[in-house]
A = this chain, B = another copy of it.
Amino acid sequence: MAIVLGPHQYGKAENRVVRIYRDSPRHEIHDVNVSTALRGAFDPAHLVGDQSAVLPTDTQKQTAYAYAKEKGLTSIEPYGLELARHFVDDVEPVTGARIEIEEYAWERVVVDGTEHDFTFVRRGQEVRTAAVTVEGKGDAQRTWVVGGFKDLVLLKTTGSEFHDFLTDEYTLLEPTSDRIMATSLEAKWRFDSAALESAALESSAGFDWEGVYAGVKQTMVEVFATLHSLALQQTLYEMGKAVLERFPMIVELRMSAPNKHHFLYDLAPFGLKNRNEVFNADDRPYGLIQASVLRDDAPAAGAAWDVAGGFA
């Protein structure tokens, strides 16, 4: 028996890059948090402290800022692709790179009914995310792109039931035919790499990352609103299914949805009727429903979902 080094990666996490476009009086802002992780032939650094194959995490940071200017930073997915491909293609010991990005949305403030040219207010709603993974050199290179969002907090005040569930000796829950359903939705969708490449080839404008993002979000929100729900599981499945039906370049979608419990407050001791009007929004514990939806002919996921390399 010997003790050996297993999987490892390293990088610079949470670079807070803000990119302003100010070529016209109407400025644009892109505000991101980008994390890089490199995989490759770094065994000597672990085994004997030899750094000769290790590109410093500080260099990865410098590159993230420099690329915001050199390559530009508009949609986060292609920015992530530029970074990932650079590390794998241009740094010899690097055999794989994963770039994870969060984007914070800003909207223009309105003055006298007109959008302002260079003043913004942070929207504060969901955080957009992307995870780009590139593995391999040259012709063997493979690429996965995952788009997504988190912290989209949705709530419906009716149109949600939960009953006829399995019971055992620890079951106290009462069934209900009308409850608040609320969640802070996280969704991640895997793009079909081949479809992305085709789209990019067909049009000089490339792929419409912004349109897909807006469309996926709106689709999910609409299903959440309009589906009469028998369970959060059902709602998630139908949300994911609708996305796959409308967006052919997406092959899989994963969702994580805390059931943010709103408990009907008992006002009977005070002689008051509570007809689903007063609730306590509880913190913990919360239900946590996680589900995925995919095409039955989806290509293998490969490293697409390997968010943190299983580390933490």
Give A1-13 as 1s and 0s: 1 = Cβ < 8 Å from B's Cβ atoms.
1111111111111
**A288: interface (CB < 8 Å):** yes
Complex: A11 Cα to B5 Cα, angstroms: 34
Q: Does A103 contact B (CB under 8 A)?
A: no
Task: State whether A290 touches B9 (Cβ < 8 A).
Answer: yes
Residue of B nearest to A279 (CB): B18
Cα distance, A37 to B234, chains bound together (Å): 17
Q: How far is the CA of A162 from the CA of B55 in the complex (A)?
A: 12
Flag if B267 contacts A225 (CB, 8 Å). Answer: no
Nearest B residue to A70, CB-CB: B272
Q: Among the listed B53, B163, B172, which residue makes an inter-chain contact with A58, where contact means beta carbons less than 8 Å apart?
A: B172
Stretch at the interface among A133-141, A195-203, A302-310: A302-310
| Pairwise interchain contact A166-B119, C-beta atoms closer than 8 A | no
**Given known A3-B293, A290-B309, contact A278–B17 (CB-CB < 8 A):** yes
Which of B9, B45, B61 has a CB less than 8 Å from the CB of A234? B45
A55 touches B168 (CB 8 A): yes
User: In the assembled complex, which residues on chain B have CB atoms less than 8 Å from the CB atom of A162?
Assistant: 51, 56
Which of B121, B168, B226, B244 lies in contact with A154, CB distance below 8 A?
B121
Smallest CB gap from A151: residue in B: B124
Contact A294–B164 (Cβ < 8 Å): no
Determine whether the beta carbon of B125 is less than 8 Å from that of A59.
Answer: no
User: A18 — nearest CB in chain B belongs to which residue?
Assistant: B279
Q: Does A211 contact B (CB under 8 A)?
A: no
Most buried by B among A91, A124, A283, A308: A124
Q: Top 10 closest A-B pairs, CB basis?
A: A49-B230, A124-B124, A6-B292, A256-B312, A122-B153, A119-B225, A8-B291, A49-B234, A57-B287, A46-B237
**18 interchain pairs, CB-CB under 8 A:** A1-B297, A6-B252, A10-B290, A12-B287, A13-B284, A46-B237, A48-B234, A55-B166, A59-B173, A65-B267, A69-B267, A91-B168, A111-B222, A119-B154, A119-B157, A120-B157, A186-B311, A290-B312
